[in-house]
Amino acid sequence: MATNRRDFIKISALGAGALAITKPVFGWLPDFMKNKEPMDDSKAKRFPTYCEICFWKCAGWAYTNEQGELWKIEGNEDDLHSNGRFCPRGTGGVGMYYDDDRLKTPLIRETVDGVQRYRKASWDEALSFIAKRMQEISEKWGPESIALFSHGSGGAYFGHLLKAFGSASITAPSYAQCRGPREVAFNVTFGSQLGSPEPLDIRDTQCLVLIGSHLGENMHNGQVQEMSQAIDKGATIITVDPRFSTAASKSKYWLPIKPATDIALLLAWIHVIIYEELYDKEYVEQNTIGFEQLKAHVKNNTPEWAYGITTIKPDLIRKSAYEMAKASPSVIVHPGRHVTWYGDDTQRMRGVAILNALLGAWGRRGGFYIPEKFKLPKFPGPKYPKPKKTKSDAHQGKYNLADTFLSNGICEASTINIERDFTYKAWFINGTNLIETLPDKKLTEAALNQLELVVVIDTMPMAITGYADVVLPECTYLERYDEIRVSPHRIPQMALRMPAAEPRWDCKPAEWMARQLAHKVGLSEYFNYESHEELLDWQLRQVGSSLEEMKVVGVKSFDREFDDLYFREGEVPQFNTNSGKIELYSTELEREGFDPMPVYTKHPEPPAGFYRLIYGRAPMHTFSRTANNPNLTDLMDENKIWINPKVAKQWGLKNEQPIWLENQDGVVSSFPIKVRVTERIRWDSVYMVHGFGHSNKQLTRAYGRGASDTQMITNVMVDPIMGGTGMRGNFVTFHVEKPSSKEEVAL
């Protein structure tokens, strides 16, 4: 039997010999007769940090008790991302540190008697192994054949290393699997990407429109907080969702849309707003181009037309449009975050952008504010060499509007293909579980199989870890320094992350790993400092602060240097588009050969006995990465499949009953998932929370709990504009017993 060059290796209890620390019970007193008093704040120490459980990066304080053990994490009151209040995942961040299933030592793949397994290695050995392999690959294929996938702070240092080495192939799945279409759509419309956190002035809005965004279930902390403030101030919320989301339950209007028809609804809204002359006339006249073309374009897209497609009553479409117009310009049609649904996502996001433009929301109070960007100077070092290959080589000339390497593009360009003269040979993977993140697992596995080096840098043994040649155990964000957080917001702010506890086992920060590797491959001049503290202190001193100061304050704010938060009265703003105006009619899309204005196209519907798989998030988890966190699994330890009572009755399904899912391509879920019979989901769809059904046994709390939606996503609809991977065109059916005959994806 031929084995893959890269068999999946289950990380066994290697390194488990180290002393297992369980969460200490504070307040334990040897004198058992004494009452157990609660922990006293005044005896605690606190260390500034910013959260790494999601990309929102809230700044806060990590507290340790008298014994120096990590106790709790709270928000930093000065921080604009969190306003002193962490979300459940951030609060539960201590669980990430206390998780005994963490990676503990470096591991190297070896083959003994034909069986592949991991063996423990020293840091020096592991890093030397990588350095040697990197140099061999560089000689044979060029340095640009090494790529980095990163969804974590550590990526910055490996990115720096790769750039110094001669490769620019750095990617994050958060683009093509998540928010890419929205960035492109807003860029071609307003000449500005949204970035993170999005410049949404939710706290002052009078009308918040959520289309497929489930704020409250996705805990984008600042936005959830501002949504709550908006509710307090009496703002109207309009939610478009086939599922009665938490946000829908807070809404004045819920539009229970038939999935995959959002563009029809957007066009109908645009129609109502234009033809009933509800748009911000002055704003549109002054700042936009293409209004007449747009008006002609949506002429026939009446609410009655949309009703037949979306199943939303014309009256409801009109009323919700009036509500937006009434609030204009203090209105936000929320751009969403994970928007890669049906492959025409950039166009759908264009619809959202156009609607915001018509309502005059961009640059207005209660709409989109103008964020203040802020950068720290780079530590002095030589210039990066110019890479010989660029993203256009990786994407074979496609997706020109994407401004970054695409994860799936690199994945594709890693498989052998004679039509392409360039193939990736090595992957560094930091903080992202590509197996669960990239759709089309078979392609990912095919790519992994032909690579000459796979390095996984992570804290947890995720599914991807088993594909590595070398596994480097990264310490958690609570045990390390990282880059100073500088992100765009209402005012510029920077935040420090410093270690609150000693690294457990033999874990190291990514910065240290990258620096050591640089020394080994002869790139020391790019890391010309002795310690991470020295680097950070130098950077901070350039902006008039210091590491010492930041250790005390955690977060430091600056005044805005330019602009107001909103356009000034009488100001004629310049937009960074081809025309210098907001482009209702996109000249950029036209030039690239795409529809300059969004067009509704019909998407496939589920065949009989199948239901559209809709996935989403739970407030207690960040994708699949928190599924083993003891505190967070305590809140939610498995996902369930939401099924409408009518459907459940048809199938004879009961609450809590475990069922297996099978998708349109015959893929059966590895694990059963429990049923939740609920009115909150349409009869033509099912819903499950993403990030469960882990197949790695080393994740003792996550293994086999619930099912993986990613496994069911085998039909990927690629957005021709920017390469985004649409994942909502998958349909599942149910099995009450585990089906045996069908093809099963081996894990």
Partner 1 sequence: MKEELFISGRANLNIDPVLHIWHWQIPVYLFLGGLAAGLLFFASLYTVLGKEDKYKTAVRIAPVIAPFALVLGLFALFLDLKHKLFFWQLYTTIRLDSPMSWGAWTLMVVTPLSFVWVALHIKDFFPRWDWKFKLVIQLEAWLQKNKQGLAWIILIFSIILGVYTGILLSAFNARPLWNTSILGPLFLVSGLSTGAASIMWLSKDAKERKLFSQIDLMLIAVELFFIIHLFMGFLASTEVQIEAAKYFLGGQFTFSFWVFVVGIGLIVPASLEIIELSGRHIPVAIPAALILFGGIIFRFIMVEAGQVTRYLY
Partner 2 sequence: MRYAMAIDTLKCVGCSDCVVACQTENNVPIGYCRDWIVEAVDGTYPQLEIELRSERCNHCDNSPCVRACPTGASHYKEGGIVAVYHNECIGCGACIQSCPYDARYSHPEGYVDKCTFCYHRVEKGQKPACVSVCPTNCMYFGDLDDENSDVSRMLKTRKYKVLAPEAGTKPMVYYLI
CB 150 within 8 A of CB 432: yes
DSSP H/E element including 393:
helix 391-394
Contact flag: residue 584 with partner 1 (CB under 8 A): no
Should residue 650 be labelled a site residue for partner 1 when binding is judged by CB under 8 A?
Answer: no
Contact 460, 99 (CB under 8 A): yes
Compare residues 147 and 620 and give the one whose CB is closer to partner 1. 620
CA angle (300, 305, 308) in 5-degree steps:
160
Q: Which does 35 bind (CB under 5 to 8 A by kind): partner 1, partner 2, none?
A: partner 2
530 binds, among partner 2, partner 1, none (CB under 5 to 8 A by kind): none
Q: Which of partner 2, partner 1, none has residue 747 at its interface (CB below 5 to 8 Å by kind)?
A: none
Decide which of partner 2, partner 1, none touches 227; Cβ closer than 5 to 8 Å per partner kind. Answer: partner 2
- Least Å distance between CB 25 and partner 2? 7
Please say which residue, 229 or 546, places its beta carbon nearer to partner 2.
Answer: 229
Specify the residue, 121 or 677, whose C-beta has the smaller distance to partner 1.
Answer: 677
Pick the closer one to partner 2 by CB: 232 or 419.
Answer: 232
Write down the least CB distance from residue 711 to partner 1, Å: 24
677 near partner 2 (CB under 8 A)? no
**Interface with partner 1 includes 110 (CB under 8 A)?**
no
Among 2, 33, 112, 572, binds partner 2 (CB under 8 A): 33
Q: By CB under 8 A, is residue 679 in contact with partner 1?
A: yes
C-alpha–C-alpha distance, residues 171 and 173, integer Å: 7
Q: What angle do CA 26, 30, 31 make, to 5 degrees?
A: 115
Contact partner, 702, from partner 2, partner 1, none, Cβ < 5-8 Å per class: none
Note whether 228 binds partner 2 by CB under 8 A. Answer: yes
Burial letters 32-66, b for 16+ CB under 10 A, else e: eeeeeeeeeeeeeebbbbbbbbbbbbbbbbbbbbe
Nearest to 553 by CA among 622, 639, 484, 469: 484
The rounded distance, in Å, linking the Cα atoms of 76 and 95 is 19
Contact by Cβ (8 Å): 314, 307: yes
What does residue 697 show for φ and ψ, rounded to 5 degrees? -65, -20
Contacts of 154 (CB under 8 A, 6+ apart): 430, 431, 457, 474, 482, 509, 510, 511, 513, 514
Q: Is residue 246 a contact point for partner 2 (CB under 8 A)?
A: yes
The token duo for 45 is 């120490």
Does position 256 bind partner 2 by CB under 8 A?
A: yes
Asked if residue 622 binds partner 2 (CB under 8 A), the reply is no
Find which of partner 2, partner 1, none residue 26 binds, CB within 5 to 8 Å per kind: partner 2
CA distance 73 to 62: 4
Q: Are strands 207-211 and 331-334 parallel, antiparallel or unpaired?
A: parallel
Report, in Å, the least distance between residue 635 CB and partner 1: 4
Q: How many helices (H) and strands (E) does the chain have?
A: 25, 27
Among 51, 87, 457, 494, binds partner 2 (CB under 8 A): 87
The binder of 41, among partner 2, partner 1, none, by C-beta within 5 to 8 A per type, is partner 2
* CB-count burial class (<10 Å; 0-12, 13-18, 19+) for 314: middle
The span from the CA of 632 to the CA of 94, in Å, is 10
* Cβ closest to partner 2, residue 92 vs residue 596: 92
CA distance 30 to 41: 21
Tell me how far, at minimum, the Cβ of 151 lies from partner 2, in Å.
22
Which residue's entry shows tokens 């429109």?
Answer: 209
If binding is defined by CB under 8 A, does position 34 make contact with partner 2?
yes
| Residue 371 interacts with partner 2 (CB under 8 A): yes or no | no
17 contact, one of partner 2, partner 1, none, CB 5-8 Å limit per kind: none
Is residue 296 near partner 2 by the rule CB under 8 A? no
φ and ψ at residue 690, rounded to 5 degrees:
-75, 150
Q: Please, are residues 420 and 447 in contact by the beta-carbon 8 Å criterion? A: no
Stretch that binds partner 2, among 117-125, 219-227, 326-334, 409-417 (CB under 8 A): 219-227
Q: Which of 2, 25, 32, 572 binds partner 1 (CB under 8 A)?
A: 32
Would you call the peptide bond into 106 cis, given omega within 30 degrees of 0 as the criterion?
no
Q: Determine the Cα–Cα distance for residues 622 and 629; give it in Å rounded to an integer.
A: 11
**Residue of 57, 72, 348, 504 that binds partner 2 (CB under 8 A):** 72
Does the protein bind partner 1 through residue 219 (CB under 8 A)?
no
Among 636, 689, 716, 722, binds partner 2 (CB under 8 A): 636
Say which entry of partner 2, partner 1, none residue 609 contacts (CB below 5 to 8 A, set by partner kind): none
| Contact between 729 and 343 (Cβ < 8 Å) | yes
CB 226 to partner 1: min, Å? 23
Contact partner at residue 225 from partner 1, partner 2, none, CB < 5 to 8 Å by partner kind: partner 2
Q: Can you list the positions of beta strands (E) in 114-179?
A: 115-120, 146-150, 170-171
300 touches partner 2 by CB under 8 A: no
| Distance in Å, CB of 371 to partner 2, minimum | 21
Q: How far is the CB of 738 from partner 2 (least distance, A)?
A: 29
Q: Is 650 in the site for partner 2 (CB under 8 A)?
A: no
Total site size for partner 1, rule CB under 8 A: 9
Q: In the bound complex, what is the minimum distance in angstroms from residue 645's beta carbon to partner 1?
A: 5
Which pair of structure tokens corresponds to residue 490?
């209402």
Q: Are 171 and 406 in contact (CB under 8 A)?
A: yes
Asked if 353 touches partner 2 (CB under 8 A), the answer is no
d(CA 697, CA 252): 45
Report yes or no: 625 and 433 within 8 Å, Cβ to Cβ: yes
Smallest distance, partner 2 to C-beta of residue 96, A? 12
Q: Report the residue from 14, 240, 354, 620 that binds partner 1 according to the rule CB under 8 A.
A: 620
Q: Is 682 in the site for partner 2 (CB under 8 A)?
A: yes
Residues in CB range of 514: below 8 A, 6 or more apart:
154, 157, 158, 160, 161, 527
Task: Select the binding partner of residue 224 from partner 1, partner 2, none (C-beta < 5 to 8 A, by kind).
Answer: partner 2
Provide, rounded to whole angstroms, the least separation between the CB of residue 683 and partner 2: 7
Q: Report how far Cα 571 is from the mean position of its chain's Cα atoms.
A: 36
Asked whether 554 and 48 are in contact (CB, 8 A), the reply is yes
> Would you count residue 617 as binding partner 2 (CB under 8 A)?
no
Which of 231, 635, 736, 747 binds partner 1 (CB under 8 A)? It is 635
User: Least distance from C-beta 321 to partner 2, angstroms?
Assistant: 19
683 touching partner 2, by CB under 8 A: yes
3-state DSSP percent of the chain in helix, strand and coil, to 5: 30, 20, 50
* Nearest distance in Å: CB 109, partner 1: 39
Residues that bind partner 2 (rule: CB under 8 A) add up to a total of: 62
Residue 598 near which of partner 1, partner 2, none (CB within 5-8 Å, type-dependent)? none
Q: Distance between CA 531 and CA 528 in Å, rounded?
A: 9
**74 touches partner 2 by CB under 8 A:** yes
**Contact call for residue 27 and partner 2 (CB under 8 A):** yes
- 244 binds, options partner 2, partner 1, none, Cβ within 5 to 8 A by partner type: partner 2
Gyration radius of the chain over CA positions: 26
Angstrom distance (rounded) from CA 658 to CA 639: 11
Q: Which positions lie near partner 1, rule CB under 8 A? A: 32, 620, 634-636, 645, 677-679
Give the residues lining the site for partner 2 (CB under 8 A).
23, 25-27, 32-41, 71-75, 84-88, 91-92, 94, 215-217, 219, 221, 224-225, 227-229, 231-232, 244, 246-250, 254, 256, 619-620, 630-632, 634-636, 644, 678-683
